[in-house]
Amino acid sequence: MDETPQVVLNPEREGSLRTLGMISYLLHAVVAVGAVVPGFQPSILLLVVAFFIDLFKKDEARGTWQESHFNWRIRSVLWAFGLYIITSPLYLLLVFPGMVAWFIVSLWFLYRVARGWLALNDRRAMPV
């Protein structure tokens, strides 16, 4: 099996990227929990901030196991956004089925955040 060699960062740089990843996952988690808990609606701005942190910092992790986490978070946000857009007509026309659809998307997003955060904590890469 041919594996791409992983870039090894100095411990300080790796720790810095890991801390940045933890902060990003925290911001994602606050928004994800807010999406499934009635009455708790944090600003979507938190998610936008986390998304742009991931976009601008992912090159610093290129070739390392942490690159997969940047990609995981970016893909999670883009997929969730797309799913919310696709289901928004349902939400606007038929409120209850739309709420159910958005709840399912929100649970899926929360699952992705939790799975990634646990893997980052264990210093494991995310699947491609």
Q: What does the mean pLDDT of the chain come to?
A: 84
- In terms of C-beta distances under 8 Å and separation of at least 24 residues, what long-range contacts does 91-99 make, across chains too? none
At residue 46, does pLDDT exceed 90?
Answer: no
At residue 2, does pLDDT exceed 50?
Answer: no
Question: Other C-beta atoms within 10 Å of 6: how many?
Answer: 12
For residue 85, the model assigns a pLDDT of 85
Higher pLDDT, 113 or 46: 113
